[in-house]
Amino acid sequence: MIVHVARIALAPVLYSQARWMYKTIPLLPEPDGLRSGISGNGARQMRVLIAGDSSAVGVGAATQEHGLAIPLTRALATHLDATVPWQLIGETGLTSEGVLQKLTASEVQPADVALVIVGANDITREVSLSRALRHRDEIATWLRQRAGVAHVVFPGLPEMECFPAIPQPLAWYAGLHARRNNKAQERWARAHALARHADISGLTRAELMATDGYHPSPTLYGLVAGRLAAYIAKLHNA
């Protein structure tokens, strides 16, 4: 209810700030580096697929070494004393529907666990939460059928109100939407056979953002990678 009331009451300011933000935020490139590889050399194996939007592909870092995928899979290999073959499929600007389309158009390798980073663009493009969750459901089902994935982990959104690039009150409004997304996604995942919601709250701070004020810095990617690796390792060992 509060989201809809705020949207009506603050509509002129929110739209004006959104237009200003899109014009002023620098467009950072997707980082250089491999989008598949093997981390660790343990006796057992866990195959990991990372898919999603600009945060999945590491925008805000100069190379994949300092983005999300490689730190995550290295941390996971350490947690499990495992060899972790991994594949990264993603693109800047993807919504939940866009991630589904990207996956279905790609050569996806078999995986045991998939990590799907998505949601921020659903908010900025005003995709309804019900529609976004429907596409996430389709992502999980498709990954099970086509890649044999046993668990599809959807991290929650970070505290978008902490993004320096977003002015107030738009930042407050984006944060409200992010929390709404996280609560709904957690409820949805609890009732889903494959999907899991991973909490990454409490990590995002303004000083840990990249130069555009919108994406994670390498330091924040490292913190998120560590949190998610611990979550996936616990899930695998359960």
Distance CA 64, CA 120 (A): 21
The stretch 128-133 carries a mean pLDDT of 97
CATH number at residue 49: 3.40.50.1110
**Residue partners of 83: CB distance under 8 A and separation at least 6:** 38, 39, 40, 41, 42, 43, 44, 45, 46, 77
The reported pLDDT for the residue numbered 97 is 98
The reported pLDDT for the residue numbered 236 is 83
Q: What does the pLDDT look like over 22-38, one tens digit per residue? A: 788 899 999 999 999 99
Whole-number percent of the chain with pLDDT over 70: 94
Domain that holds residue 9: 2-237
Q: What does the pLDDT look like over 137-185, one tens digit per residue? A: 999 999 999 999 999 999 999 999 999 999 998 899 899 999 999 999 9
The stretch 112-126 carries a mean pLDDT of 95
Q: DSSP states of 94-123 as a string? A: --HHHHHHHHHTS-PPP-SEEEEE--HHHH
The reported pLDDT for the residue numbered 211 is 96
Could you tell me the pLDDT band of residue 3, with boundaries at 50, 70 and 90?
very low
Distance CA 160, CA 162 (A): 5
Find tokens 């999980």 and name the residue: 140
Count of domains for the chain? 1
pTM comes to 0.93
Calculate the average pLDDT of the chain.
93
The stretch 51-56 carries a mean pLDDT of 98
